[in-house]
Structure 1
């Protein structure tokens, strides 16, 4: 198959061992692609090994985070299509054609979706299942793998959202939901994920980064469709106010301050969601008018 110019962006922090096996396999799979390794402040031989294997290397003077490395690579990549993958050997180069084929079929972002067996632990699988469910509710489409860092995307479109992406590990969450909100086509392709190379160390902490992932979902949810977030909260306060009023009326025979507080809070939350919805619509309408894409939401 003939592809457009492809740039493979690999964020790497102390992944010398993984790159030794990944880069030759990647070059064999995509001999004409630009391979760009972003060394995020490594203290080992990551940069030297990447250069020895013929990759372009950009080095951060200190560790800025996985998302920051992706943004650095996206700004410097020469290809019209970007493939984003990890350096630890879990993402297999042989799976890349499956992602690129979907881009050529008309998708704008294609995510390599991991199965249950590919998760590092049962707890990680459960957490990702929760994230996927939340994201699906927000975007109104099934989201198979919100947090996968193995993906292919059109470079021009991906760069539109660089200012929204966090510097940490939650950039996949933000970019996926932003693509949905902008009306771009997002696809999910099942992929096999290999075990992490011996010596490679995950930089994700389940509790800390799990909480961040959840916060990112809500943050991007307010950008995607604020009323889907604020309306249920408003309804909850309203139901609580009505229920509390019925209780207090039956016991003390009057309308209490607590009832009023719950009902007023319900109205305020609804109005905040309504204003947020209008701001979001204006934000994306302005962006579309600037880039001339004219795509619908």
Structure 2
């Protein structure tokens, strides 16, 4: 198969497989019958009872099977396939179509996603429609992840958990460097794409669930929670920043008795801490400090002015209870600060 794939300019189909059934054989046969796409299957440490399935696939022309000795997770299986593609394939191969092994992606949709992707540089998602017939755990998990993804990353994607994707060749080296190895890897791919300034495009596909999705190893709640740690990290940094900011403000106000200069002092100290922590811990930004620092200083000045005006106004309404007014003002500015940092300060240049 390696000789075939070195010459082809068609996308590969990459299928990670853990404890598959004969449905996988049917799927691969359908793909080979309906498309010219080479197929790469990664056996992610399946049990001995699955050996015959992989042996059958290995005998088929245009199909390669790579084996993991132990189960390493879907993300690691995808990375194994991506690495093999980059090592073996011709540079004329435009990218990879990923599909699940349980038969829930139709060959016609696999072909459509591949054809949509091969002519451009976008990451393509084959997005399902989550109607009443979709299993509750899948509907709930996708809705939850979609909401958090939009809040944290800043882009609306209707099906963040779809396994049917076109991955453009240019993005594959970046995907190989993602440290995750489970189902969170697919979510991290989307985050990395947005950070890189590349475009994500969705195309509708048929929604197919076999036996109420009983063969899936995906836990929508547990596996979706992994991406939420971005927001958790931010909350942790923000809490630490808020405590530092409030402590400096209280000390400065007790000495100066002036709201503006007390806020100025607290922002100077807490802002320095928050910039360093947000850059490295929360948003994992690796760009140079200078452009981000300029934008961050502008944000700090804006929030300082808003905090000052809000604290002055609230303290007037609360008969001079400055510390309570300061706490209320900062709480109201929390989400605005996160959204601005995510989009304009530490986010990628999206053109």
TM-score, L = length of structure 2:
0.62
> Secondary structure at the residue paired with 2:155?
coil
Alignment pair present for 1:13 and 2:21 = no
Structure 2, unpaired ranges of 5+: 1-7, 255-265, 292-347
CA RMSD of aligned residues (A): 4.0
Change (3 A) 1:202 1:212: same
Give 3-state SS (helix, strand or coil) of 2:180's partner.
Answer: coil
Q: Tell me: higher relative CO, structure 1 or 2? Use CA pairs within 8 A at least 6 residues apart.
A: 1
- Of residues 129, 154, 177, the one that matches 1:115 is 129
Whole-angstrom CA distance in 2 between matches of 1:104 and 1:174: 22
Select the residue among 131, 134, 152 that pairs with 1:138: 152
Equivalent residue for 1:185? 199
Question: Given the alignment of the two structures, is residue 100 of structure 1 paired with residue 105 of structure 2, yes or no?
Answer: no
Question: Do the aligned partners of 1:23 and 1:53 also contact (CA within 8 Å) in 2?
Answer: no
Bigger helix fraction: 2
Q: How many angstroms apart in 1 are the aligned matches of 2:241 and 2:142?
A: 26
Aligned in 2, Cα 1:188/1:235: closer, same or farther, shift over 3 Å?
farther
SS of residue matched to 2:287? helix
Deviation above 6 Å: which 4+ runs of structure 1?
A: 197-200, 262-267
State the distance in 2 between where 1:58 and 1:18 align: 18
Q: CA deviation at 1:59?
A: 0.8
TM-score, normalisation: structure 1: 0.73
The separation in 2 between residues aligned to 1:36 and 1:210, in whole angstroms, is 26
Matched-pair contact (CA < 8 Å) for 2:184–2:224: no
User: Corresponding residue for 1:159?
Assistant: 173
* Selected match of 2:286 from 270, 280, 295: 280
Cα deviations across residues 162-201 of structure 1 (Å, max 9, x unaligned)? Answer: 1215111122100111011101121111111322369972
- Residues of 1 paired with 2:152 and 2:272: CA distance? 22
Counterparts of residues 81-96 of structure 1 (less than 5 Å): 81-96=95-110
Residue in structure 1 matched with residue 216 of structure 2 by the alignment: 202
